[in-house]
């Protein structure tokens, strides 16, 4: 365990406020996995290890501030489990799916879920978002650093259940990205997205998310507007 203690930064006091006393040890173990196996297996850059808590774990966990109690969540392009695993640790009431297409990453995720004792709360699903269109839905779809907002919405909104939403992690320029993506999102039948600043009073730098509610009618993500060609969604998946 000596090597781990050298590479993993000390647990900051604010982590207790985000993860709670009951789950803090699980979060710490996850940080150790990221700093060791995560780096060795190319999921986390070596330079990221010293700033795992602020830049990754806490940054992702506070997304739970805008997710309702008991919600089902899918983390698209989960990678090393961010934000999905951090959310699951901070919010035991959530049911989280980690959706990731690459085998080496899903293997790491499966091992992490087992090691952290989260098998009853978290599932790992190998695949791409568009492969799940018309197959499954979740109440909340989240993603971090996956794609520009309009493209992300076309991939992710078909995965949102009725009245569900996309909660996309973005940087401080989130509002500008919304403006750029708005014409395309409006064509999908979406209401105007909202931008939320999370982690106030806890994080040194806030987390920014864009929230896009799934249109009440129509099949988003496929060719054309939300109401077009509703009977043939599968033939349109190549465009998302």
Is 205 contained in some domain?
yes
77 carries a ligand binding annotation: yes
How do residues 108-140 score in pLDDT, each as one tens digit? 999 999 999 999 999 999 999 999 999 999 999
Q: Is 238 annotated as a binding residue?
A: no
16 labelled as ligand-binding?
Answer: no
Mean pLDDT rounded to a whole number for the chain: 88
Could you tell me if residue 1 is inside a domain? no
pLDDT band at 235 (very low <50, low <70, confident <90, very high): very low
Q: Look at residue 17 and tell me if it is in a domain.
A: no
118 domain residue, yes or no: yes
> Is residue 71 in some structural domain?
yes
User: Is residue 50 in some structural domain?
Assistant: no
pLDDT tens-digit readout, 23-82: 999 999 999 999 999 999 999 998 888 889 999 999 999 999 999 999 999 999 999 999
pLDDT given for residue 108 in this prediction? 98
| pTM (2 d.p.) | 0.87
- 144 carries a ligand binding annotation: yes
Residue 18 falls within a domain, yes or no? Answer: no
129 is in an annotated binding site: yes
**Structural domain tally of the chain?**
1
CATH number at residue 232: 3.40.50.150
> Containing domain of residue 218, as a range?
55-239
Is residue 1 predicted with pLDDT exceeding 50?
no
Q: What are phi and psi of 42, to 5 degrees?
A: 75, 20
CA–CA distance, 2 with 12 (Å, rounded to integer): 19
């Amino acid at each position: 365990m000596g090597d781990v203690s050298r590479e993993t930064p000390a647990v900051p006091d604010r982590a207790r406020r985000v993860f709670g006393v009951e789950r803090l040890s699980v979060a710490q173990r996850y940080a150790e996995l990221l700093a060791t196996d995560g780096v060795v297996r190319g999921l986390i850059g070596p330079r990221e290890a010293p700033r795992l808590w602020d830049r990754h774990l806490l940054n992702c966990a506070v997304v739970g501030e805008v997710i309702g109690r008991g919600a089902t969540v899918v983390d698209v392009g989960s990678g090393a489990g961010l934000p999905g695993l951090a959310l699951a640790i901070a919010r035991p009431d959530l049911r989280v799916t980690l959706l990731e297409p690459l085998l080496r990453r899903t293997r790491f995720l499966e091992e992490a879920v087992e090691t952290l004792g989260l098998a009853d709360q978290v599932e790992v699903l190998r695949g791409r978002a568009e492969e799940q269109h018309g197959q499954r839905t979740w109440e909340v779809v989240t993603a971090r650093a996956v794609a520009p907002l309009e493209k992300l919405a076309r991939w992710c909104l078909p995965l949102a259940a009725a009245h569900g939403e996309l909660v996309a992690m973005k940087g401080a320029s989130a509002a500008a990205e919304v403006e750029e993506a708005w014409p395309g999102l409006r064509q999908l039948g979406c209401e105007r997205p909202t931008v939320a600043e999370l982690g106030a009073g806890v994080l040194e730098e806030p987390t920014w998310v864009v929230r896009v509610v799934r249109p009440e009618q129509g099949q988003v993500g496929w060719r054309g507007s939300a109401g077009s060609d509703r009977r043939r969604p599968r033939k349109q998946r190549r465009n998302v």
